[in-house]
Structure 1
Amino acid sequence: MTNPLLSPWDTPFALPPFASLKDDDFAPAFDVGLADARAAIAAIAENPDAPSFANTIEALELAEATLDRVAGVFYNLAGADSTVAREALMRDLAPKMSAFSSEVTNNKALFGRMETLWSARDTLGLTREQARVLELYHQMFVRSGARLDGAEAARLTEVKSRLAVLGTEFSQNILTEERGWFMELAPEDLEGLPEFLLDAARAAGAEKGLGPIITTSRSLIVPFLQFSPRRALREKAYEAWVARGANGNAHDNRGVAAEILRLRAERAQLLGYASFADFKLEPEMAKTPAAVRDLLMRVWEPARARAEADAAILAQMLAADGVAGPLEPWDWRYYSEKRRKAEHDLDEAALKPYLGLEAMIAACFDCAHRLFRLDFKPLQVDLYHPDARAWEVSRDGETIAVFIGDYFARSSKRSGAWCSAMRSQRKLGGRVVPIVVNICNFAKGEPNLLSYDDARTLFHEFGHALHQMLSDVTYGFISGTSVARDFVELPSQLYEHWLEVPEVLETHARHWQTGAPMPAEMLQRLLAAGTYDQGFATVEFVASALVDLAFHEGPAPADPMQKQAEVLEALGMPRAIRMRHATPHFAHVFSGDGYSSGYYSYMWSEVMDADAFAAFEETGNPFDPETAARLERFILSAGGSRPAEELYLEFRGRMPGVEALLKGRGLLDAA
């Protein structure tokens, strides 16, 4: 029978033929994709004609077309709707894909052609975009070990293969741990829980044939920690949440993390770098570990001061409830929610009815229309899961992209929220319309209501989606979010600001039952509380980023957990706050190389996003068309076609200082 992954996709917008796909189709499709890619790359390397940009770089761009198509579908499904078969194939593919990558970058004939082009780059008559693509290809090959020979080259291949296996193992261990733990709630345990949380807990339990349960999904456990007055249950749930990957079982990630760090250090050494952090940060905006540490420490001190002051207030509230002993991490959210209600008259349970999922999706789309003239039309097409939905994205009648939203938590989906492209935009070889996916893990209920943080996450991921959808480059290698890691979060964090625009909430934040707008005084209180509890949020983030940096800027620690403890002690970590992501479930850092030595990048981008939104504020119009056009031209459509700093300077005219970040978090006056 014909494999649907390898046949032409005569579906609307050439979407993957999800209805006819079976798990058994993927392995043979990968085999064909790898064979086709190897043949195409061999033809490039052995081409008797003199190297040219067209017969080498452009040929490389198209060499893996089948493999890219198959991988784009598989890896999206493996993260969003995993099965036993998909998890097994991921483990099988990890060393195979790593070996293939090493084959390509170790191909001396291929790299020789690239070196020839690189040496003659100023005489080739390249466009600015082509020159940038050549630069990035050459950089990728060199940083992948193309200049190594013999035993060193062989060892680097082994190291990268093992790292690929370990990253998959780390990620699957977390997923298994998250599937395995839940806490059933007896009738007396429901005390104090708002209706939206009860609905979500019942829905999660129904999936397992049980009554209401709490799982380690953030959209369930955080509101439980906020509202449950039963301290022992809060402690039980919290400790299970932070212990993911560290339970002394077959899915314990502590040894996996230690081996990953050892191999990363060896990889950097083989490539001639002082540390893995030096290697990883070289192509980023930050450039050096010292620059990262400087930013983080400038934020850490005022954040810790604010958090300690807040902790003292929460400890008094704990004591007033007759609880002996210090404020603990499982107490913070409960008493912080009480304090927020008292000081800002802001109750999340009262706020949520105005933040329905459908209304917030409409708000995302409306802002994109007002800024970039994008229109969104629902599509009735087959997708990979009943919860997933699709829209045609167009402008002036022309299709720009297909957008897929998959918003609800389920046991087959890894935790967190992310954006990916099943197919990236490019023009080489014919115009390719991207397929862009947003994945979230909101609690499913009836109705589907969001917290304000959930709504912010929705806007954040949609900002990434805009970066993919508005991409307008010739080469897929630099398309969309293919930019420096500490620049990639700028569009997503910038888009969050439009959720705070009063007219957006006035229009879209309407009661899910009555349709009434959020009361004006509630809206004012919500916006006034925008920097509430930022000491906590900043401390838990910066602590994680500093631990990540410490893991990678020196020799690999023999015991990462001991190193984590030493870093936190030296920082003076507040007792009642823990890292946002403890090492055994720090997927950003250990499930792959993406954010290793790079978790700081959210904060690096935040320095820019506060300043970038100020460009709109300075016009007096948050939807100013000229500023929006500059944002699209120099940031959202440009991909990696120019260095990140150069693009930002074109948009804004200057680089911002850390003060914009501190002001945005309400920490300028903390010391």
Structure 2
Amino acid sequence: MNTQHISKTLQTIAICSMIVMTSCNKKKETVEDSNQKEQTANVLLTEWTGPYGGTPAFDKMNIADIKPALEKGMELNLADIDAITSNTEAPTFENTIVPLEKSGQELNRVFTYYGILSSNMSSPEFREIQKEMAPKLSDFRSKISQNKALFQRIKTVYDNAQKQPLEADQQRVVLLTYEQFAMNGAELDKEKKKRYAEINKELSELYTSFSNNILADEEGYVTYLTKDQLGGLSEPLIKAYAKAAADRGKEGMYAVTNTRSSMDPFLKYSTERELREKVWKNYYSRGDNGDDKDNNENIAKILKLRKERVALLGYDNYADWRLQNRMAKNPENAMKLMNAVWPAAIARVKEEVADMQAVANANKDNITIEPWDYRYYAEKVRKKKYDLDSDEVKQYLQLDKLREAMFFVAGELFNYKFTPVAEGTVPVFHEDVKVWEVNDKTSGDHIGLWYLDPFARTGKRSGAWATTYRSHTTFDGKKTVLASNNSNFVKPAPGEPVLVSWDDAETFFHEFGHALHFFSSEVRYPTLNGGVRDYTEFQSQLLERWLSTDKVIDNYLVHYKTGEPIPKSLVDKIKKAATFNQGFATTEYLASALMDMKFHLADPTNIDVDAFEKETLAALNMPKELVMRHRSPHFGHVFSGEGYATAYYGYMWADVLTSDAAEAFAEAPDGFYDKEVAAKLVKYLFAPRNAMDPAEAYKLFRGRDAKIEALMNDRGFPVTGK
């Protein structure tokens, strides 16, 4: 899933291992001369050079430079803040907010490299630096968020703007800045500020420990297969598993690594039930093995500290505090949406399990469906009901062709052209990373660069995400976009294509939607490139819909061996089976979202995390045949930082908007390629980023609020009242 750009320094430091900042500033003249030599010596601090407005020097990145670069970057950033607070003139937007938007340029450059080393190229050496620096970064953040003089200047600008409004985007920047400082304790008294800062430091250490524990379990648990244990697996998958084993020094064997992209197809196709169980347990017990990498105690501490921290601000629970400026506004509204969908989801699971059990019984398999059987027998039901074989579909889903399809869609909707950048022109951090230039097709104007890091590797966190190395702004000279998509596809044997599932193809489109959201930005100020968490997934979820459009299917889904286009009969089966297995997909996601909210509404005093998870799911009537998409001990969205804490429901909130917006295209004269609807989409839902209230932006696009009925219809669930 994706990691969104947040421009404020105090927000960035809290989740620096997951996202990259792009606000820009100029070094103050008094600091520049004295630090020029040191910055030149440390490439991580150095201004980016080369074509395309300068790019990160990934080829010169060195772990040894990280700690001194962070320390110097923090020093320079605090000097920027001092310059603002020492200004004796009355606070204004120009002398307070603008320099705050410019602050931290050097440190933000360091975080670009820090994010890569954390998410894409982690190592034991780097993790030790993370542990050491986490509390220092937390202290630094507190020095800014609790700076009384700085907040007083911000508050003065905010109060004056209430009386004499500024330009619309400036007014929005002031509002967001003021809210962010107020929500992070800027108005607390001295003693409460001290405790608030202490809590943040403790949390930063726990977040680092949590994420590193997950990564350690992903690296530490590998299931090796012999040649006689490959039943049901396709030739390309067997070759990929062989390469994974060879890469680990196990030539002649086959390795199922402990990541979703490796685990999922094995559970779907392997005829070896005992091995399916082993692979399943390895994956879903990450962070829950009762050893020194166990995360249950970390979760308990995190929940207690979060509740204590928001209590200092006068809130009863973390969820009330977190959701106050989200689209949902409060946990009650988020729970209302989830509870509206949950009964239909688990009812559908019951139907799916009955269908699977019938197949197993007919085959005389003599088993009762268990979680490690769900994917395997779901495939058999799919084939029986729809004569649809997922492995057959994969033969037409080549990663390179899907990328070309995404470029086509971007051209049709956004008028973008993607051109490969010659190897060696732009530094990359790994040979797998490729780069494309993005231009406007009509004017030829340079929009930015798109980096793609598609394959799993040791040291790379699991999942898929998007991030920016630099975001579009114009207030301090136009800055072009450097955006990145990151996946964990199993790297194929040399010369072999990467074949992916339909779900993985949708995820590929999803993350590209985040990149298009970055590229389409038309905001002046860095803060406005941020987003409201239960809205920012909408743009990317919407882009998934173009995968199943005729123009993509007819032109880009071709057989990896013959080059023949996907047969219409197979396409018809795919579309007919569109709502198949929605019980599983919705329930595994929604269970995680509900658990996230329940954890943060509960009293964490003496909480037994493992027992709480089991008891809560039992109360929800969670089907025993599947588990949460992210079990608590490896729920990194929620416990390795705060980006998705009490906000995992946001995917469904955004999906309501997605389904409703998709209907707008479906009803248009030219369908999903209707130029008029596409223009409104870009103008109101992509280009503004966070420059306007998301609810108002959606109304401008649709002419009304979104309705949940479209979501229920999309998933094949009954609509209440019908």
- TM-score scaled by structure 2? 0.91
Equivalent in the alignment of 1:236? 278
Deviation by residue 1:423-451 (Cα, 9 ceiling, x = unmatched)? 12211211111211111111111221111
Equivalent in the alignment of 1:77? 117
Shift in Å, 1:624: 1.2
Is the deviation greater in 614-623 or in 171-180?
A: 614-623
Q: Does 1:355 align with 2:394?
A: no
Q: Does 1:392 align with 2:437?
A: yes
Is the deviation greater in 223-232 or in 309-318?
A: 309-318
C-alpha RMSD of the superposition: 1.4
Once residues 215 and 21 of structure 1 are traced to their aligned partners in structure 2, the CA distance between those partners, rounded to angstroms, is 28
The residue type paired with residue 47 of structure 1 is: N
Equivalent in the alignment of 2:25? none
Once residues 184 and 402 of structure 2 are traced to their aligned partners in structure 1, the CA distance between those partners, rounded to angstroms, is 42
Once residues 48 and 345 of structure 2 are traced to their aligned partners in structure 1, the CA distance between those partners, rounded to angstroms, is 52
Deviation by residue 1:182-223 (Cα, 9 ceiling, x = unmatched)? 111112111111112212211211210112111121111111
- Which residues in structure 2 correspond to 1:168-187 (within 5 Å)? 168-187=208-227
Deviation by residue 1:444-496 (Cα, 9 ceiling, x = unmatched)? 112211111111010000001111111110101111xx111100100010000
Equivalent in the alignment of 1:277? 319
Shift in Å, 1:324: 3.8
| Pairing partner for 2:475 from 399, 407, 428 | 428
Q: Does 1:382 align with 2:422?
A: no
Equivalent in the alignment of 2:700? 650
Equivalent in the alignment of 2:508? 458
Residues 454 and 487 of structure 2 are in contact (CA less than 8 Å); yes or no, is this contact kept in structure 1? yes
| Pairing partner for 1:12 from 38, 51, 55 | 51
Equivalent in the alignment of 1:294? 336
Residues 45 and 107 of structure 2 are in contact (CA less than 8 Å); yes or no, is this contact kept in structure 1? no
Residues 196 and 349 of structure 1 are in contact (CA less than 8 Å); yes or no, is this contact kept in structure 2? no
Once residues 7 and 304 of structure 1 are traced to their aligned partners in structure 2, the CA distance between those partners, rounded to angstroms, is 54
Is the deviation greater in 192-201 or in 85-94?
A: 85-94
Once residues 325 and 7 of structure 1 are traced to their aligned partners in structure 2, the CA distance between those partners, rounded to angstroms, is 62
Secondary structure at 1:12 match in 2:
coil
Secondary structure at 2:395 match in 1:
helix
Distance 1:526 1:478, change over 3 A: same
Residues 510 and 540 of structure 2 are in contact (CA less than 8 Å); yes or no, is this contact kept in structure 1? yes
Once residues 123 and 296 of structure 1 are traced to their aligned partners in structure 2, the CA distance between those partners, rounded to angstroms, is 40
The residue type paired with residue 149 of structure 1 is: D
Residues 541 and 658 of structure 2 are in contact (CA less than 8 Å); yes or no, is this contact kept in structure 1? yes
Once residues 63 and 102 of structure 2 are traced to their aligned partners in structure 1, the CA distance between those partners, rounded to angstroms, is 26
Equivalent in the alignment of 2:148? 108
Residues 77 and 384 of structure 1 are in contact (CA less than 8 Å); yes or no, is this contact kept in structure 2? no
Shift in Å, 1:563: 1.2
| Pairing partner for 1:526 from 551, 574, 580 | 574
Q: Does 1:3 align with 2:39?
A: no
Secondary structure at 1:354 match in 2:
coil
Residues 73 and 422 of structure 1 are in contact (CA less than 8 Å); yes or no, is this contact kept in structure 2? no
Q: Does 1:166 align with 2:216?
A: no
Equivalent in the alignment of 1:474? 524
Shift in Å, 1:669: 6.3
- TM-score scaled by structure 1? 0.98
Shift in Å, 1:224: 0.7
Once residues 423 and 87 of structure 1 are traced to their aligned partners in structure 2, the CA distance between those partners, rounded to angstroms, is 25
Q: Does 1:199 align with 2:243?
A: no
Residues 472 and 638 of structure 1 are in contact (CA less than 8 Å); yes or no, is this contact kept in structure 2? yes
Secondary structure at 2:485 match in 1:
strand
Q: How many residues align?
A: 669
5+ long unaligned stretches in structure 2? 1-39
Residues 76 and 422 of structure 1 are in contact (CA less than 8 Å); yes or no, is this contact kept in structure 2? no
Shift in Å, 1:633: 1.1
- Which residues in structure 2 correspond to 1:434-453 (within 5 Å)? 434-445=481-492, 446-453=496-503
Deviation by residue 1:24-78 (Cα, 9 ceiling, x = unmatched)? 1222222221111111101101111110101100110111111112112321332
Distance 1:669 1:311, change over 3 A: farther
| Pairing partner for 1:540 from 588, 594, 617 | 588
Q: Does 1:483 align with 2:522?
A: no
Is the deviation greater in 70-79 or in 131-140?
A: 70-79
5+ long unaligned stretches in structure 1? none
| Deviating 4+ runs (over 6 angstroms) | none
Residues 352 and 450 of structure 1 are in contact (CA less than 8 Å); yes or no, is this contact kept in structure 2? yes
Identity percentage over the alignment?
40
Equivalent in the alignment of 1:209? 249
Deviation by residue 1:322-378 (Cα, 9 ceiling, x = unmatched)? 344531101111100111112112112211121111000000110000111100011
Residues 69 and 423 of structure 1 are in contact (CA less than 8 Å); yes or no, is this contact kept in structure 2? no
- Which residues in structure 2 correspond to 1:249-328 (within 5 Å)? 249-328=291-370
The residue type paired with residue 634 of structure 1 is: Y
Q: Does 1:568 align with 2:594?
A: no
Once residues 669 and 629 of structure 1 are traced to their aligned partners in structure 2, the CA distance between those partners, rounded to angstroms, is 31
Residues 184 and 214 of structure 1 are in contact (CA less than 8 Å); yes or no, is this contact kept in structure 2? yes
Shift in Å, 1:125: 5.0
Shift in Å, 1:123: 4.4
Deviation by residue 1:156-202 (Cα, 9 ceiling, x = unmatched)? 10111111111111111000000011111112111111112212211
The residue type paired with residue 430 of structure 1 is: G
Deviation by residue 1:511-549 (Cα, 9 ceiling, x = unmatched)? 122221111111111122111100111111111111111
